[in-house]
A and B are shown apart, each in its own frame.
Chain A
Amino acid sequence: MSTQDIVLDREGLAEVPVIEPGHTLASVTEKISDIVLVRPLSIGWVAGFLACASLVGVLGVAVGYLFYKGTGIWGINIPVGWGFAIVNFVWWIGIGHAGTLISAILHLLRQSWRNSINRFAEAMTLFAVMCAGVFPLIHVGRPWLAYWLFPIPNTMGVWPQFRSPLLWDVFAVSTYATISAVFWYTGLIPDLATLRDRATTPIPRFIYGALALGWRGEARHWHRYESAYLLLAGLSTPLVLSVHTVVSFDFAISIMPGWHTTVFPPYFVAGAIYSGFAMVLILAIPVRAVYNLKDMITERHLENAAKVMLATGLIVAYGYILEIYMAWYSGPKSIDWFTVHNRFFGPYAGPYWALWICNIIIPQVLWIKSVRRSPFLLFLISLVVLAGMWLERFVIVILSLHRDFVPSSWGMYYPTKWDWATYFGTIGLFLMLIFLFVRVLPMISIFEIRMLLPEAEAKHK
């Protein structure tokens, strides 16, 4: 992009535009909808889709064998009864947080730059929550009993334990999934109507027509749409903070050293947004290159995402340091100090220090402006952050469990090939859904981008 195209915003500060000049209302519509309706299938897309679909096959085999044999095929055993399933669940749910933050909170704060990445981020959120949802359903080992998670009237005459954070978790995640899906779909309706009107063959016209729910673009429709969207944004906003807070309660409510910490809720939320923005960058950077969308997902978007990562990464660092401080403050003979000492020098010191390098040390290069504006470097750093956030959950879950109060109940945890197959399988599932999404739905919100154009601005006033 050319940095000469400087516009002045309301405060008169120079800013890089959120959309490159030269677009008209028609050209925006055409460009985004043509990706879905006109663009032929490329070899790259088919190859990528098939590669991800085969990973989903791996997931199918891993889950099928799990249901046949039971959770004994995983590496879990006493004392480490929570292994990859919970690590991956928390990781995926965290990744899902960026979508709602971008679409709801930034919408309420009138950050119009979010218009070109919100659709995309919300889709990512939904798919991440789906991947997360796989783990609670399969970790019971007997999936036909997975409905026990929910308070459904049953012949056993018992309810789930309402005092357990694991049940709060079920509510938090299912609420989040529902609201995210409704929010996403509501935002899609005007664009689905655009696709319906632009499609030329009967099957897409039928499908998009049915999904558009009779949208005609009347003033009345827009009025109701705006109210509904604002209300949903208001509903989603507390969820951004509450969901990962409740997930952190799974740990913090227990009395396990390494889990029983009041700093968990804020630092889980920050970590979730941290990994979520990393995933947004990992997806946005290749997509804007492949589909030639650099004029809509500009370097300003990348830079803003990098700034969010930098800020949330520092909150996460604060959490890590506070854990060490609290252990030190508890005294050298406390179990907390033992836990920290064990993290530093114990059998899992490798993952622990890798966590520091990935999550805290490497991302500090984001202070440099040229790094924030380099898509290639941002892509690499985002990968490092995702690895770091996964390690964080590994450290929290495994390292806290493997050294108990009593040395006789110490043990080690080694993930099996089935653990890895399930984990990589969900990554395949996630990417496969993303591949489908970019080809069947407008990955950038057409009408919200049109609002960013000078023509629209003039009519508003």
Chain B
Amino acid sequence: MAQIFHRSLNLYTKASILVALVLGGAAFAGLMAFERSPYITNQGITKPQPVPFSHQHHVAGLGIDCRYCHASVETSAYANIPPTKTCFNCHSQIWTNAAMLEPVRESYRSGKSLVWSKLNDLPDYVYFNHSIHINKGVGCNTCHGPVDKMPLMYQANTLQMEWCLECHRNPEKFLRPRNQVFNMEYKQPTEELPVTVDNVAYTEQEALGKALTAKYHLRNVTDITSCSTCHR
């Protein structure tokens, strides 16, 4: 009886090993890219909000400080979403008839809070505290990105654990003086633009970061990368 497989097929058998390796490698690389893609992380994606609030207009345009609305950020785990009354400090005087702001006025009249869609949302198994980060010299835009250039709010980073650890493993690469935390224009020190702390001008982030680590009494890296620091 003739064989079903001709011997010339042996070449294909050998070639299939190579094909399997290439396909396997491609599938692995594809999965690695996929799990970091905005489809999984929501990075860079806006969500529908009751009012199309523009951080760009309020922060860069009007120069309002972060803490005017997010008042508890320096002392509490949550930065806080402002109550409608905070909006009304200004909007009882200006743009009082704007159709866009009707949900705000309705909220004020009825006393029912505006329900915003949360964008920078960490999983519930992560303990996160804003105040400690602010007080150790982590700038708002280090995590939240260029909020002053966001007409509509979006999540600027992946918020994946590898992203958190990037800083927790090397905090000195990201620290800035406390008085610069809310400065959206802050740049890390260079030769041309040194940063001065305690009358010392630093021209490199590395030296500045080390000085601030000591000045603000940062816990060591072993402590801040321990599992139970964030997963309590």
Contacts and interface: CB of A to CB of B under 8 A. Distances in A.
Interface stretch (B85-93, B127-135, B159-167): B159-167
A156 B162 contact: yes
Interface string B1-45: 101110101100100000000000000000010011000000000
A158 B13 contact: no
Contacts, number: 39
A160 to B, nearest CB: 13
B165 A214 contact: no
Contacts of B164: 157
B13 A214 contact: yes
Contact of B161 (A153, A158, A202, A216): A158
A206 interface: yes
Contacts of A213: 10, 13
B158 interface: yes
B1 to A, nearest CB: 8
B230 to A, nearest CB: 11
Nearest to B163: A157
Nearest to A202: B4
Nearest to A214: B10
B166 A209 contact: no
A155 interface: yes
A155 B13 contact: no
A210 B13 CA distance: 9
A210 B10 CA distance: 10
Nearest to B7: A214
Contacts of A196: 3
B161 A155 contact: yes
A205 B4 contact: yes
A213 B14 CA distance: 9
A440 to B, nearest CB: 18
Nearest to A156: B161
A274 B76 CA distance: 62
A157 B163 CA distance: 8
B161 A210 contact: no
The bracket for how many chain A residues form the interface is: 10 to 19
Contact of A210 (B5, B7, B166): B5
Contacts of B5: 209-210, 214
Contacts of B158: 155
Contacts of B32: 153
B10 A157 contact: no
B4 A216 contact: no
Contacts of B35: 154-155
Contacts of A205: 1, 4
Nearest to B32: A153
A158 B3 contact: no
Nearest to B161: A156
A156 B10 contact: no
A157 B7 contact: no
A205 B1 CA distance: 11
Interface string A213-226: 11010000000000
B96 to A, nearest CB: 47
A230 B158 CA distance: 51
Contacts of A155: 35-36, 158, 160-162
Nearest to A157: B162
Interface string A175-213: 000000000000000000000100010100110011001
A206 B9 CA distance: 13
Contacts of A209: 3-5
Interface in A207-250: 209-210, 213-214, 216
Nearest to B4: A209
A205 B2 CA distance: 11
| Residue of A153, A157, A196, A210 with highest tally of chain B CB at under 10 A | A157
A213 B9 CA distance: 9
Nearest to B227: A158
A188 to B, nearest CB: 16
| Residue of B1, B4, B32 with highest tally of chain A CB at under 10 A | B4
A102 B5 CA distance: 34
Contacts of B13: 213-214
Contact of B160 (A156, A206, A214): A156
| Residue of A154, A155, A196, A210 with highest tally of chain B CB at under 10 A | A155
A196 B5 CA distance: 10
Given A214-B9, A214-B13, A157 B165 contact: yes
A169 to B, nearest CB: 21
B165 A158 contact: yes
A206 B4 CA distance: 7
Interface in B113-151: none
A214 B16 CA distance: 14
A199 to B, nearest CB: 9
Given A157-B165, A196-B3, 19 more contacts: A153-B32, A154-B162, A155-B35, A155-B161, A155-B162, A156-B161, A157-B161, A157-B162, A158-B161, A158-B165, A200-B1, A205-B1, A206-B4, A209-B3, A209-B5, A210-B5, A213-B10, A214-B7, A214-B13
29 contacts: A153-B32, A154-B35, A154-B162, A155-B35, A155-B36, A155-B160, A155-B161, A155-B162, A156-B160, A156-B161, A157-B161, A157-B162, A157-B163, A157-B164, A157-B165, A157-B166, A158-B161, A196-B3, A200-B1, A202-B4, A205-B1, A209-B4, A210-B5, A213-B13, A214-B5, A214-B7, A214-B10, A214-B13, A216-B7
Q: What 5 A-B pairs are tightest by C-beta distance, nearest first? A: A157-B162, A156-B161, A155-B160, A157-B165, A214-B10
Interface of B: 1, 3-5, 7, 9-10, 13, 32, 35-36, 158, 160-166
Interface of A: 153-158, 196, 200, 202, 205-206, 209-210, 213-214, 216
